[in-house]
């Protein structure tokens, strides 16, 4: 069986639009790669030489200021597509937050394949528009929401993206309850939300005191009342 036949995100990735013959052709130009936590896959400012589908794990998209400060500008989960097809310079780095598995393609090979398969190009456009919508929501979050609303929105989005996703550490315990192993440190959450680490810790404590979450450890969050968390997100 080919890598595509065995792929756990086959029905949700951009290649879901391809038939068996087309998948076989795509499989010849791709390869599976394992990435350990902390390892970079794409570097900011470099020529776009590869693209990839995320099969397992969580990766961050980040950019750096001139004085070396990092800003996390996005997070990708299984079935997400990373990289910049059709040329150009990569505007952000891509680094694994957890151990991950990706299906990697040479950007030139992928571009040539996509041009010959309009359904794949259409899927790329859908993904791009979806990412644009998420970016606009994130602008609202960073610009207008309070610290509490930011924290709740962050947790809600993470649950929505990780629910029923292979390779992500989230468990259903009851209809309104989730157990999440965070791929982020407290400092990384602060970086994503534009908050201080002290504010992040205070918001976790507040949510716990209000009975909305439990915190078994610094990397675990048990969402006790998902509806209440959605209401907190505003």
Q: What's the pTM?
A: 0.79
Q: Is pLDDT above 80 for 3?
A: no
Confidence class of residue 167 from pLDDT cuts 50, 70 and 90?
very low
Task: Give the span between the Cα atoms of 36 and 38, in whole angstroms.
Answer: 6
Q: Is pLDDT above 90 for 207?
A: yes
147-162 helix and 197-209 helix, angle to the nearest 10 degrees: 80
The whole-angstrom distance between residue 22's C-alpha and the CA centroid of its chain comes to 26
The DSSP letter of residue 15 is G
Instruction: Compute the mean pLDDT over every residue in the chain, rounded to the nearest whole number.
Output: 85
Task: Give the span between the Cα atoms of 50 and 61, in whole angstroms.
Answer: 15
pLDDT (0 to 100) of residue 196: 92
Contacts 24+ apart (CB under 8 A), 111-118: 111/85, 111/86, 111/87, 113/25, 113/26, 113/29, 114/85, 114/86, 117/18, 117/22
Spelled out in words, what is the top-level CATH class assigned to the domain 145-232? mainly alpha
Tens digit of each residue's pLDDT (9 = 90 or more) over 66-108: 887 777 888 888 888 998 888 788 888 999 988 999 999 999 9
The DSSP letter of residue 10 is T
Please answer whether residues 215 and 221 qualify as being in contact, where contact means their C-beta atoms are separated by less than 8 angstroms: yes
Look at residues 110, 121, 52, 39 and name the one whose alpha carbon lies nearest to residue 82. Answer: 52
Please answer whether residues 80 and 14 qualify as being in contact, where contact means their C-beta atoms are separated by less than 8 angstroms: no
The DSSP letter of residue 200 is H
* Residue 32 backbone phi and psi in degrees, to 5: -90, 135
Domain extent listing, the chain:
3-140, 145-232
76: β partners: 59
Domain 3-140 bears CATH identifier 2.60.120.10: yes
Give the SS3 label for residue 12: coil
What token pair was written down for 212? 């909305």
Task: Give the span between the Cα atoms of 155 and 48, in whole angstroms.
Answer: 31
pLDDT (0 to 100) of residue 92: 87
DSSP readout, 41-64?
EE-TTSB--EEEEEEES-EEEEEE
Task: Give the span between the Cα atoms of 55 and 33, in whole angstroms.
Answer: 10
């Amino acid at each position: 069986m080919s890598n595509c036949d065995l792929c756990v995100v086959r029905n949700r990735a951009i290649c879901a639009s391809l038939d068996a013959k087309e998948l076989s052709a795509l499989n010849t130009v791709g390869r599976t790669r394992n990435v350990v936590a902390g390892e970079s896959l794409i570097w900011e400012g470099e020529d776009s030489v590869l693209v990839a589908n995320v099969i397992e794990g969580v990766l961050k998209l980040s950019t750096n200021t001139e004085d070396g400060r990092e800003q996390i500008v996005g997070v990708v989960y299984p079935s997400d597509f990373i990289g910049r097809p059709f040329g150009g310079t990569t505007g952000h780095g891509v680094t694994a937050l957890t151990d991950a598995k990706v299906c990697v393609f040479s950007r030139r090979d992928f571009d040539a394949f996509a041009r010959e398969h309009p359904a794949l190009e259409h899927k790329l456009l859908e993904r791009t528009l979806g990412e644009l919508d998420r970016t606009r929501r994130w602008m609202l979050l960073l610009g207008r929401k309070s610290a509490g609303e930011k924290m709740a929105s962050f947790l809600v989005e993470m649950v929505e993206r990780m629910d029923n996703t292979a390779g992500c550490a989230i468990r259903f315990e009851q209809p309104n309850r989730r157990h999440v192993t965070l791929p982020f440190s407290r400092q990384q959450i602060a970086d994503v939300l534009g908050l201080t680490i002290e504010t992040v810790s205070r918001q976790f404590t507040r949510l716990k005191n209000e009975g909305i979450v439990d915190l078994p450890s610094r990397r675990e969050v048990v969402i006790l009342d998902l509806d209440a968390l959605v209401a907190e997100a505003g």
